[in-house]
Structure 1
Amino acid sequence: MREILPALSRWYARGAPFGLATVVAVSRSAPRDPGAAMAVGPGDEVVGSVSGGCVEGAVFELAQEVVASGEARLETFGYSDEDAFAVGLTCGGEITVLVRRVTPDEDPSFGAVADSVAAGHPVTVATVIDGPAPRGATLAVRPDGERGAAEVVAGTLGPAGLDAAVAADARGELALGATGLRHYGPNGERREDDVTVFLHSFAPPPRMLVFGAIDYAAAVARIGVFLGHRVTVCDARPVFATPERFPAGVEVVVDWPHRYLSGTDTDARTVICVLTHDPKFDVPLLEEALRRPAAYIGAMGSRRTHEERMRRLREAGVGERELSRLRSPVGLDLGARTPEEVAVSVAAEIVALRWGGTGAPLTATAGAIHPTGTTPG
């Protein structure tokens, strides 16, 4: 939903009611993950998507009905073998969508949530989708850095015990960057048969650190922004590390790469791309990178450069377990030549590693196309 928040914030600021449809559960080969959203606003303007086109028409009509009635609706869409013309998912999967009306009076937490997401602050939105608690009721939660606890930003799901239990779980999901369903008793007890709550985590965008301010870095930075990363490019050479050479919104830092990385926080979602292919930069930088949390560490260079780099890293005391994390030569085998093609190759490897993809053509694979499971925020 992050990508449609600017439009939703405009409607919300005007006090214009809109219908917000959110995917809350998927099964089998569903085209979108939990958290995917579509909204119908003033003048029947539509933003976002819940299925990539399969059921958007039906969700559009459903959102219109919800805006008119004010009553939240929960609908499941799947594939119908019996009726080829029925609304459903041609991929054979199934999605469950919650549609609710949003206005400042009905959802006072929405503005705070939108502001937090826009500012890059972590927040989780808990929404009741089924059970005795009011369907569509929301509770926004963020971590309290000083106390290490959960802080309720706005809203309520009803009973104080339910709010407390959901807030604690929401903080845990946020720490993992996860989104999914939880079940509770009416007062927050751990039960499977009463209140079903959808926890939607908005963690800050993952970081992409690109080292080496070359043409390839500009292309990788551009596709990193496209994939939703907060991108920083670092190079020790001020003549190359200039903001004008990189896309808008990319942070450009002049510093020795290993020194910059040693003073920078990384986590399990961070992507590190080493494009300098110069030993005096690469080796101390990779020594630092391979010993800290990161989702992806890739280094550019020929196979000969790779072998020489590995030798130098071993001499520097980097162990085999740490070296096994290095993706080098960087990227998937696409036959890429230009900086833009290489960037696509790198991005493809990052996505494949994130979701456990093989990188093989889909025509050569079998089974579900879309992975299922808990969705990172």
Structure 2
Amino acid sequence: SPGNFKSFASEIVRAYRGELSVALATVVNSPVGRPKLGSKLLIREDGTVQGSFDNSKLETETIAIGKTLAIHGGNRYFKTIDDTEIFVEGFTSPPTLVLIGGGHVNRAVSRLASLLGFRIYVVDDRLEFSNKERFPEAETIVISDYSRGLGKAPVNSNTYIVVATRGHRYDDLALAAAIRTPARYIGLLGSKRKTLEIYKNLLKGKAPPERLQEVHAPIGLDIGAITPEEIAVSIMAEIIMVRNGGNGTPMKMNIANLNTISY
């Protein structure tokens, strides 16, 4: 109906603004007449939908494809066993990475993230650590104190924040600002002891415990990283895991007895 199309358009515009991510599926050929030619299904990143194909099996298959395209963008065409043809298009903004702190680790994270297609924003209060020479990949560099600098970056549900400043006091300020945003991911660099100390301070300042529980701290996956570059791999691996809905476990097969395999 026209009302549905208007609602679809409204959500697609919001996706381009970075407020959400959606995919739109359209029936482009329907030899059996069901679903109707031109039927549309709006699929949100969380799997909720608007519209209907009047075919639950087809909707389930389409939703699975749509959720992936909502996150990553792009489009896909597929055909079912009865020759029904569906075109699915994703609408999203590029993922944004906000690096709070211009130290060695975030410098390495910036290089790696640029290869992975992230828009990069850097926030630091020191010009010598926050400049195009250190961060040539950054779209925007903000020289500001940590509590206010985050407000100059576009933070939405497709934003990932890495807090790695030069000390506890600054991490407190940066994390306090980060948890007030709708960012999809917030990570804090540092030891467990440092993390607990910062959480204690923030809880005293009435930070919402449920939002603090969503912070990835200490940041990254445990790969035994030591150098800034290795730590960057650990951090970006965790961010990709969160973005794609992975679980971070090794993909190695557990084969109990290789002797049972015939070759």
Partner of 1:178 in structure 2? Answer: 22
Query: C-alpha deviations, 1:231-283, integer Å up to 9, x for none?
Result: 01110011211210113344222111210113443111100000115122111
Counterpart contact for 1:205–1:228, Cα < 8 Å: yes
Q: Give 1 or 2 for the bigger CA radius of gyration.
A: 1
Aligned to 2:162, the other structure's residue is in SS state strand
Alignment-derived partner of residue 329 in structure 1: 218
Alpha-carbon distance between aligned partners in 2 of 1:167 and 1:215, rounded to the nearest angstrom: 48
Match of 1:301 among 186, 190, 210: 190
Does the CA-based 8 Å contact 2:132-2:138 persist in structure 1?
no
Give the match for residue 123 of structure 2: 234
Deviation at 1:201, TM superposition (A): 2.7
How far apart, in 1, do the equivalents of 2:84 and 2:5 lie? 11
Q: Does 1:318 align with 2:207?
A: yes
Normalising by structure 1, we get a TM-score of 0.49
Looking at secondary structure, tell me which structure has more strand per residue: 1
Distance 1:357 1:248, change over 3 A: closer
Call closer, same or farther: CA 1:302–1:188 in 2, change over 3 Å: closer
Partners of 2:212 and 2:248 in 1: CA distance? 21
Post-superposition shift, 1:196? 5.0
Q: 1:362 to 1:287 in 2, by over 3 A?
A: same
Cα deviation 1:173-229 (Å, max 9, x = unaligned): 563423353446346685558985524234221211001111111111112212211
Structure with the higher helix share, 1 or 2: 2
Deviations 1:6-34 (A, max 9, x none): xxxxxxxxxxxxxxxxxxxxxxxxxxxxx
Q: CA, structure 1 residues 247+263, in 2 after alignment: closer, same or farther (shift >3 Å)? A: closer
- The question of whether the paired residues in 2 share the 8 Å contact of 1:166 and 1:188 is answered with no
Alignment of 1:1-377 (within 5 A): 168-169=7-8, 171-173=10-12, 175=15, 176-179=20-23, 181-183=25-27, 185-186=36-37, 191-192=53-54, 196-363=85-252
Give ranges in structure 2 of 5+ residues lacking alignment: 28-34, 41-51, 56-82, 256-263
Find the aligned partners of 1:253 and 1:264 in 2 and give their Cα distance.
Answer: 8
* Alpha-carbon contact 1:218-1:247 (below 8 Å) kept: no
| Aligned-pair CA distance for 1:288 | 1.7
Distance 2:222 2:98 in 1: 22
- CA-CA distance at 1:346 after TM superposition: 0.3
Runs of 4 or more, structure 1, over 6 Å off, are: none
Instruction: Say whether the 8 Å CA contact 1:185–1:195 is kept in structure 2.
Output: no
Question: What is the CA–CA distance in structure 1 between the aligned matches of 2:254 and 2:12, rounded to whole Å?
Answer: 32
The alignment of Structure 1 onto Structure 2 pairs a total of residues equal to: 205
Question: Unaligned regions of 5+ residues in structure 1, if any?
Answer: 1-160, 367-377
The percent of aligned pairs where both chains have the same amino acid is 32
Maintained 8 Å contact 1:165/1:188 = no
SS in 2 for 1:216: helix
Measure the CA separation in 1 of the matches of 2:117 and 2:153: 19
Distance (Å, rounded) in 2 between the aligned partners of 1:206 and 1:278: 27
